[in-house]
Amino acid sequence: MNQDEFNSCMKEIYEEIDARQRKIETIKFTNGFISGAILTLLLVFITNTVKADTELLIKNCLMEAEDQPMEAKIAVTHVVLNRTKHPRFPSTVEDVIKQPKQFSWVNKPSQRTIRQRDYLKCKKAVELALSCVGKNNFLYYYAVSGPNAIKEPSWARNFKTRVVIGDHLFLAGE
C-alpha cells in the first residue's frame, strides 16, 4: 500500500468515526439527553456486533481461503466487506455471508478441524482487511485452480476487472 492509498484509507476510517459520532450526537439532541446506562448498552451492542462480525469473517476466510496466500485471504475478506456497502447485497457481514448460494461452506457445511495456526493466519488477514490493507472493489470470486476449481460461470463473463490471487479469480467492475 503506498502513502496515498494509506492516507485515503485513514480518511475513510476517520469519516466513519465522525459519522458514528454524529449519530450519537443526534440521539442526544433528539432525546434531550441520553442516559449513561443507555449509552453503555449501545456501546456493548456495537462491541458485540463487531466481535461477532470479526469471528464470522475469520470463519469465512478459513472455509474459503485457508490454504491460500495472505493476499487471497485478505481479498476474500474484502469481498464480504465490499458487499455490505453495495446496494445489490445485504448490509451486514452476517447477512452477506449467509446469503444463499454465495459461499460454498455455508451451502455445504464442513466439520473439518481447524488448526490454530490457520485460524491465526485468517485472523491476521481479517485484521489487515479491516484496516484497509489490500483494499479493492472485488464483489465476487471463484476457484480457477486447485481442488475446488470450476469452469467459468456465465455470470462471471461481464466483469472488467479480473485478478488471479492464489487459486481464485476475483472480479469487479460489471
What pLDDT does 132 receive?
83
H or E segment to which residue 140 belongs: strand 140-143
83-89: list long-range contacts, CB under 8 Å, 24+ apart.
Answer: 83/139, 86/139, 89/139
Residue 141 has φ and ψ, to the nearest 5°, of -160, 160
Per the CB < 8 A criterion, the answer to whether 56 and 93 are in contact is yes
Q: Is the pLDDT of residue 125 over 60?
A: yes
- 168-172 sheet: strands from edge to edge: 140-143, 168-172, 161-165
- Domains observed in the chain: 35-172 (1.10.10.2520)
Express as a percent the part of the chain with pLDDT over 70: 71
- For the chain, the average pLDDT equals 82
Instruction: Please tell me which of 21-25, 41-45, 79-83 the model is most confident about, judged by mean pLDDT.
Output: 79-83
pLDDT per residue over 3-14, tens digit each?
666 566 656 765
DSSP character at residue 155: G
H or E segment to which residue 166 belongs: none
29: cell is 439532541
